Amino acid sequence: MQAVSHRPLRFGQLLAEPGVVEELTIRGPIGFCAFHGGNLERVTDQIAKQAAQRSGASYYGVLQPKSLRHHIPSSKIDPNESPALTTFLDHCDIVVALHGYGRHHHWSTLQVGGLNRSFARHIAHHLRWELAAYSIVDDLNQIPRDLRGQHPQNPCNLGRLSGVQLELPPRVRGLTPLAEHWPGSAGVGPNFTHVNHLVQGLVTAAQLWSGA
């Protein structure tokens, strides 16, 4: 697998790289996004897109091609360098940013960060219902500091009511050997049964949110 690149690139420069694709669909006031999608944090863009389509939410994604794996920290993703991202953020009340991560002892742990703690708890509740085999952590004190999504310039916090940063381990994205051999699974990656349950939890959370 190609290593993640940390060479200095601004967000706008990344968008200009050959093969990088921006996707934008404007629908409802909740928005799902994956700005580390494509070949970087794999399957996050597909989960965000499915959740948005099925719930009537808006969607924004940045997809890197197979030839590229460049990571820009969330706080450095500048909407001023992307008219599409600006449009998305200006439209959304709440943004849910999907990320992929992998750490020892956290292969079945989803971390629910971001500044909108009411919506974080709401999402966590519905994910627990759908993903009983996983640990859904929404207590910021239990989330690793670098996964909390608390920076005010993080795009997940730039909607009118801030939002949520959802960190997904490889297993729930269908990217481990477990996915291939799981009984009754339709396949790996976005077809893995756990991905379907994850998407359903996000859809239900978006549809049932009352703004409380």
N-to-C CA span, the chain: 44
Residue 5 lies in a domain: no
Residue 175 lies in a domain: yes
* DSSP classification of residue 5: B
Among candidate residues 34, 55, 47, the one with its CA nearest the CA of residue 175: 47
- Transcribe 70-124 into DSSP letters: B---GGG--GGG-HHHHHHHHH-SEEEEEEE---TT-TTEEEEESS-HHHHHHHH
User: What is the side-by-side order of every strand in the sheet holding 109-113?
Assistant: 21-25, 58-64, 30-38, 94-100, 163-168, 109-113, 135-137
Residue 2 lies in a domain: no
Q: Which two tokens stand for residue 151?
A: 């920076």
Q: 């549809």: which residue's tokens?
A: 207
Q: Which two tokens stand for residue 115?
A: 């500044």
pLDDT digits (tens, 9 = 90+) for 62-108: 999 999 999 999 999 999 999 999 999 999 999 999 999 988 888 89
| Contact by Cβ (8 Å): 15, 82 | yes
Looking at residue 57, its pLDDT comes to: 98
Residue 146 lies in a domain: yes
Looking at residue 28, its pLDDT comes to: 97
Residue 54 lies in a domain: yes
Rounded mean pLDDT of 190-207? Answer: 90
| Contact by Cβ (8 Å): 101, 167 | yes
* DSSP classification of residue 6: -
Q: Look up the domain containing 111 and give its range.
A: 11-208
Rounded mean pLDDT of 191-212? Answer: 89
| Contact by Cβ (8 Å): 73, 146 | no
Residue 144 lies in a domain: yes
Residue 3 lies in a domain: no
Residue 172 lies in a domain: yes
Please list the residues that pair with 33 across neighbouring strands.
60, 97
pLDDT digits (tens, 9 = 90+) for 137-196: 999 999 999 999 999 999 999 999 999 999 999 989 988 766 555 555 555 556 678 899
Rounded mean pLDDT of 126-139? Answer: 96
Q: Find the CATH number of the domain harbouring 94.
A: 3.40.630.100
Q: In sequence order, which residues have a C-beta less than 8 Å from that of residue 27 and are 6 or more positions away?
A: 52, 56, 57, 58, 59
Per-residue pLDDT at 26 exceeds 70: yes
Give the number of domains in the chain: 1
Per-residue pLDDT at 7 exceeds 70: no
